[in-house]
């Protein structure tokens, strides 16, 4: 048995001191004080204990792109960030569009991952948008279906996929991007792209496909989840769709909440991500969407690349930044310490609410539930240093940023997935 002494948990929005006893995979007891001979005791000294975070949007790159990231490294990076469950996206080689292809990934996860990992199945063969993936044979082994990295361009293909997914009780998780509107851009189409002389990606590129898809989802009676919402128009469409009873949920990434186009002072690859950082009014709309519940959850879109793919001019760079190891600290520092969001809101969007909207038995800190726990020192400050990341990916524009709220211990089903040896 493992006894976590003198931690603090959230109860009705307040931090309350509790002892937590873990037996095997489960939380045995949560009480004001627990004494038990023979238990391994970890003294937490008032540190915050959260239900383990759940990230429904990560790129673990294996199989096929191990030079960017591996399941071994990515899972340890996620654990270090406080994540106990992650859902790797299917833009791999081979694409998990059949069970045979998916099993390659499942076997590596079984061997190398220190956290729970539930992969996606593709919507279309090779994510090419031309033939349907093998939904039925994939269904029992995947979290949901997505062609992330690409928008499904054909409306009927998306519609039929939604109908199949609905019958299988799986969500369609969509990267929304109309290819005819990308226009060769590498950042948001706005004042900063003009000032830096870069081709821009207009906001309508994203929002127009969301508008199409929510209507398709309504007719198909499908759970439709929108990846990495970035524009004010997208927030408005999703808000209106929810009001009409359409089963649509969505996520926002930390970087879209924290930054906007004004933070890009030079056209370098570290600032290139998809969707791009939008205008200030878009960022404010995202924050408002979090506050009014339009935006359901936070996901990192952890997208590692080799440095030679990022340390180049923006137009030549790969899209994407890493986020697993810094997400909580950045959100806590930028929003909780500034009284924009509460700690409870952040934990809900990174854990509890994720479990609820996808009907998962995770994200619960209660007696009898799985012991997926994260211990965080809310007072501890660190400077983001990519050289110290456990991920292979070092591609972040936030190098040198000071953040508070550092995860120090992560348990998955009662087993240590990450422990800061300097502390414990």
Active site residues: 301
Distance CA 60, CA 70 (A): 6
In what helix (H) or strand (E) does residue 252 lie, and over which residues does it extend? strand 248-252
Distance CA 377, CA 46 (A): 8
Residues 342 and 350: beta-carbon distance below 8 Å = no
Distance CA 84, CA 351 (A): 9
101: left (phi over 0), alpha (psi -120 to 50) or beta: alpha
User: Please, which contacts does 193-200 make with residues 24 or more away whose CB atoms are closer than 8 Å?
Assistant: 193/261, 196/264, 196/266, 196/267, 196/314, 197/267, 198/267, 198/314, 198/315, 199/315
Residue 170, Cβ density class (10 Å: 0-12 exposed, 13-18 middle, ≥19 buried): buried
Residues 258 and 330: beta-carbon distance below 8 Å = yes
Q: In which residue are the tokens 């479990």 written?
A: 355
CA dihedral 367, 368, 371, 377 (to 10 degrees): -10
In what helix (H) or strand (E) does residue 86 lie, and over which residues does it extend? strand 83-88
């Amino acid at each position: 048995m493992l006894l976590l002494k003198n931690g603090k948990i959230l109860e009705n929005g307040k931090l309350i001191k509790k002892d937590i006893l873990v037996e095997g995979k489960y939380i045995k007891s949560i009480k004001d004080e627990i004494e038990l001979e023979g238990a391994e005791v970890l003294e937490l000294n008032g540190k915050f204990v959260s239900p383990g975070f759940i990230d429904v949007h990560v790129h673990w790159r294996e199989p096929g792109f191990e030079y960017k990231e591996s399941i071994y490294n990515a899972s340890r990076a996620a654990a270090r960030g406080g994540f106990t469950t992650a859902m790797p996206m299917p833009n791999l080689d081979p694409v998990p569009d059949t069970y045979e292809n998916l099993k390659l990934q499942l076997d590596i996860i079984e061997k190398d991952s220190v956290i729970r990992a539930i992969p996606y199945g593709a919507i279309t063969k090779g994510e090419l948008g031309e033939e349907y993936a093998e939904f039925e044979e994939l269904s029992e082994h995947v979290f949901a279906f997505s062609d992330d990295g690409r928008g499904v361009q054909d409306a009927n293909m998306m519609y039929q996929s939604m109908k199949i997914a609905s019958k299988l009780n799986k969500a369609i998780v969509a990267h929304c991007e109309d290819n005819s509107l990308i226009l060769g851009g590498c950042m948001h189409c706005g004042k900063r792209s003009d000032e830096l002389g870069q081709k821009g990606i207009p906001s309508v590129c994203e929002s127009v496909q969301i508008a199409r898809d929510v209507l398709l989802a309504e007719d198909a009676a499908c759970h439709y989840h929108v990846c990495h919402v970035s524009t004010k128009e997208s927030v408005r469409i999703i808000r209106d769709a929810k009001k009409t009873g359409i089963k649509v949920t969505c996520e926002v990434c930390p970087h879209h909440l924290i930054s906007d186009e004004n933070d890009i002072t030079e056209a370098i690859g570290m600032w290139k991500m998809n969707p791009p950082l939008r205008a200030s009014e878009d960022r404010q709309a995202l924050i408002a969407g979090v506050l009014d519940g339009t935006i359901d959850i936070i996901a990192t879109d952890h997208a590692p690349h080799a440095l030679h793919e990022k340390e180049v001019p923006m137009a030549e760079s790969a899209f994407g930044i890493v986020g697993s190891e810094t997400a909580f600290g950045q959100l806590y520092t930028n929003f909780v310490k500034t009284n924009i969001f509460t700690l409870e809101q952040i934990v809900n969007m990174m854990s509890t609410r994720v479990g609820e909207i996808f009907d998962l038995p995770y994200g619960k800190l209660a007696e009898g539930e799985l012991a997926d726990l994260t211990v965080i020192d809310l007072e501890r400050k660190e400077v983001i240093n990519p050289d110290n990341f456990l991920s292979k990916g070092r591609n972040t524009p936030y190098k040198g940023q000071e953040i508070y709220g550092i995860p120090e211990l992560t348990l998955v089903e009662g087993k240590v997935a990450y422990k800061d040896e300097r502390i414990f």
